[in-house]
Structure 1
Amino acid sequence: MRPNARRTTLADIAQAAGVSVATVSKVVNGRGDVAPHTRVRVQELLHRHDYLAPVFRHTEAVESPTIEVQFKGSLKSYVAETLEGIVDAAAESGAAVVVSKASGAPHWARDLVSAGRRAVIAVTSVHTAAHLKELARSGLPLVVLDPLHLPDSRVHSVGATNFAGGLSATRHLLSLGHRRIAYLGGPAEAICNQARMHGYRAAMEAEGAPVPDGYVRPGEFTYETGLAGAAELLGLDRPPTAVFAGNDEIALGVVEAARARGLRVPEELSVAGFDDTSLARMASPPLTTVRQPLREMGAAALRTALRLASGEKAESHHIELATELVVRASTAPPPS
């Protein structure tokens, strides 16, 4: 908008659409009692005129803010547990939460504003530079949980002490007597994966334990990465006696790959994971893993989003919560 240009009003939109101001107001506030074809026509005009709803002025929005929570891909255990923390914290604070899958639709941020959303929480970073630009224009603050990439300066984030977690898991395996320890992780460019891998390397270096070529393998944070990566590791001339996996899903894939080769866990191969989701506790054997406080991370993200939505400054641009090693039955001394 030009500095002296008149701001588009609801009356302008109503006149262009041939409807009442009350009807336009219902569309802006996400009310359901509007005919579908009328809603589409009004939304098109709102977008065309670059209209932003003054949601922060509504008493109802201030008393009961609504936060949009977005995730990408399937609803995995990691996502479900962080969502539980977000929802519990929202219930305590009197806020409402709407959960959706990340959308690439045009004007998606403006649609969220029109629907009365006050902030966005992304479970892992699912937003491109174009998304961030639209969020900035719409005035919606964004909080990213466990970001995959270095957050933009406009983004607040919540994560865990990934380096310390990688260090503690590897030190545990070293304390059991393992020296041939491999790291099977997530995407190479993901900052959480890099931190876990560097923690692993730091522990190996401090102990004087070599890391042979092929012992560090990136992938995705999926069960399939564990299956395929472990098959390659266990096929080496000198296979590892222990594998530290970048998350619990990868670790379970490693356990299955070992079983398929006739190897017993932990008697012939120790396996450690990261996250401490419900999968780790239900695994056979139960999984040694690094606990990320997923519910607490979700709650911290919700509190940060509410603070930003009310116009306050967040306590920190990035919040890191402590990790903790949880030792179960999937790790043991190496075979003699």
Structure 2
Amino acid sequence: MAAEETAAADGGRRTGDRARGRRRGGTANLATVAASAGVSIATVSKVVNGRSDVGPETRARVQSLLEQHNYVGRRAEPATGTGPRTVELVFHGDQTGYALAILDGVLEAAARAGVSVAVSVRARRDHPVEQPPANVWVRQLVALDRTAVIDVVDDARHGDLAALARSKVPFVLLDPLSLPQREVPSIGTTNFSGALTATQHLIDLGHRRIAHYGGPPEFLFSRARAHGYRAAMEGAGLPVPDGYVGVGSYDHAGGVAGGGALLDRPDRPTAIFAATDESAAGVIEAARLRGLRVPEDLSLVGFDDAPISRLLSPPLTTVRQPLLEMGRVALQTALRLAAGEPLEVHHVELATELIVRASTAPPV
């Protein structure tokens, strides 16, 4: 132990410390952890940077204290553009056609800008797969010298975003689940007006019993889409009976269960606005299981215009989110932040568009 500590300290003095030399504000944190662990700052730096020449007991003690002190490391200055640049694109949970469209947009913009994209997946809190804690994960990003991070459909209440903010690595939220702090850049779409337009389309076709199958109410865009639906119904003077707003997961299974519950009502709706295309596909399956036809017995509108919307039978009327453009704008914003450029606005909402296909028709 003593020899290891002496060699580490000498090496740190001779060559400099990567964490101290490149991360502004890292010295105080490293010193605090080193003092608590009873080791040198150089040894703590070795643990942070994943070096193998630290004993297992010392490594475990230092890692535990890094977590206790919420140490993530910090990048020293904006990227200069002289070296290779890589943007980390982070998804959460299971991937869908929505995620693939976002990825295409990011890759297209990255190719034009001459930067690389690294893709990673962070499981949600309730996911059975273990993942590194937020501080460990962000320390890895700092050690890899990522130019910036694009975080897709994350929740501002979770620890990942707080750890990113402490690290000073530039990051952009894309379609965040909850309202981020004002100074955190985020990219979204006009969820409220898109939902209002979708519901109004059904009203204009002559439907009066229109239900909504939405997502978890704690999600920002779930609430916006539900509010848009209710605004259209209220504007047309149409009632929203108790139970006409279903809540569940955004995937196919959620649509099967939630759509089935709506279709089993004695006052069965003649039309449903589903909050995603995948859940709309589940509603179509729920209708088929009950011998109902789309659109003859049930009109259906989705949201996203993901690839699945064109493959369903019948093809799905849906609200198009500009997913490719969202990816492009997120990449461009991330690079501006990395270059130290000021942003005119910190939240951008791109316009949605109703795409009418064969899943909607006047009620019989």
Q: Same fold (TM over 0.5)?
A: yes
Matched residue, 1:197: 226
Superposition deviation, residue 143 in structure 1? 1.0
1:171-196 Cα shifts (integer Å, max 9, x gaps) = 11011110000000111111111111
Q: Which residue of 2 aligns with 1:96?
A: 116
* Worse-superposed segment, 89-98 or 61-70: 61-70
Per the alignment, residue 199 of structure 2 pairs with: 170
> Which of these residues, 45, 52, 74, is aligned with residue 37 of structure 1?
52
Q: What SS does the aligned partner of 2:108 have?
A: helix
Match of 2:101 among 73, 78, 81: 81
Q: Which amino acid aligns with 1:108?
A: W
Shift of 1:65: 2.2
Post-superposition offset of 1:132: 3.0
Q: Which residue of 1 aligns with 2:91?
A: 71
Q: Any residues of structure 2 matched to 1:1-336 within 5 Å, and which?
A: 15-16=8-9, 37-38=52-53, 52=73, 54=75, 56=77, 62-102=82-122, 103-105=131-133, 106-126=135-155, 128-335=157-364
Stretch deviating more after TM superposition (95-104 or 258-267): 95-104
| Counterparts of 1:163 and 1:255, CA distance in 2 | 24
Q: Which deviations, in whole Å up to 9, do the C-alpha atoms of 1:135-188 show, x marking residues without a partner?
A: 222111221111111112342110000111001101110111100000001111
Q: Is the 8 A contact 1:293 1:323 kept in 2?
A: yes
TM-score (norm 2): 0.79
The RMSD of aligned alpha carbons is 3.1
TM-score under structure 1 length normalisation: 0.85
Deviations 1:25-53 (A, max 9, x none): 59x99xxxx99734998998799596846
> Closer, same or farther in 2 for the Cα pair 1:20/1:139, shift >3 Å?
same
Tell me the CA shift for residue 307 of structure 1: 0.8
Is the partner of 1:213 in helix, strand or coil?
coil
Instruction: Output the CA distance in 2 between the equivalents of 1:195 and 1:329.
Output: 26
CA contact (8 A) 1:55 1:116 kept: no
Distance in 1 between residues matched to 2:201 and 2:6, nearest whole Å: 64
Structure 1 residues 203, 297: CA separation in 2 closer, same or farther (over 3 Å shift)?
Answer: same
What is the alpha-carbon distance in structure 2 between the residues aligned to residue 191 and residue 234 of structure 1? Answer: 26
State how far apart, in whole Å, the 1-side matches of 2:261 and 2:164 are.
Answer: 43
5+ residue gaps in structure 1? 1-11
Q: Distance in 1 between matches of 2:326 and 2:338?
A: 18
Deviation string, structure 1 residues 93-114 (Cα, Å, up to 9, x no partner)? 1111111012542432122111
Structure 1 Cα separation of the partners of residues 88 and 313 of structure 2? 36
Report the CA distance between 1:233 and its aligned residue.
0.7
Which secondary structure does the structure 2 equivalent of 1:117 belong to?
Answer: coil
The more displaced of 322-331 and 304-313 is 304-313
Find the aligned partners of 2:285 and 2:53 in 1 and give their Cα distance. 55
Q: In structure 1, how many angstroms separate the alpha carbons of the residues matched to 2:300 and 2:348? A: 29
Identity %: 49
**Against the structure 1 CA distance between its residues 189 and 127, is the aligned structure 2 distance closer, same or farther, given a 3 Å change threshold?**
closer
Pairwise CA distance, 1:133: 2.9
Q: CA deviation at 1:54?
A: 4.8
Cα distance per residue 1:300-332 (max 9 Å; x no partner): 111111111111122311000000000000001
Query: Structure 2 vs 1, CA of residues 43 and 127 (structure 1 numbering), >3 Å: closer, same or farther?
Result: farther
| Counterpart for residue 3 of structure 1 | none
The separation in 2 between residues aligned to 1:185 and 1:296, in whole angstroms, is 24
Amino acid at match of 1:86: V
- Given that 1:56 and 1:62 are in contact with CA atoms closer than 8 Å, whether structure 2 keeps it comes out as no
> What is the letter of the counterpart of residue 236 of structure 2?
E
Say whether the 8 Å CA contact 1:181–1:241 is kept in structure 2. Answer: yes
CA distance in 2, matches of 1:145, 1:58: 21
Q: Which consecutive unaligned segments of at least 5 residues does structure 2 have?
A: 23-48, 123-130
Name the SS for the 1:151 alignment partner: coil
Change (3 A) 1:210 1:62: farther
Identify the range of structure 1 (268-277 vs 37-46) with the bigger mean alpha-carbon deviation.
37-46
Q: Deviations over 1:201-239 (max 9, x none)?
A: 111111111111110012121111110011111111110
Question: Match for 2:197: what amino acid?
Answer: S
State the number of aligned residues. 318
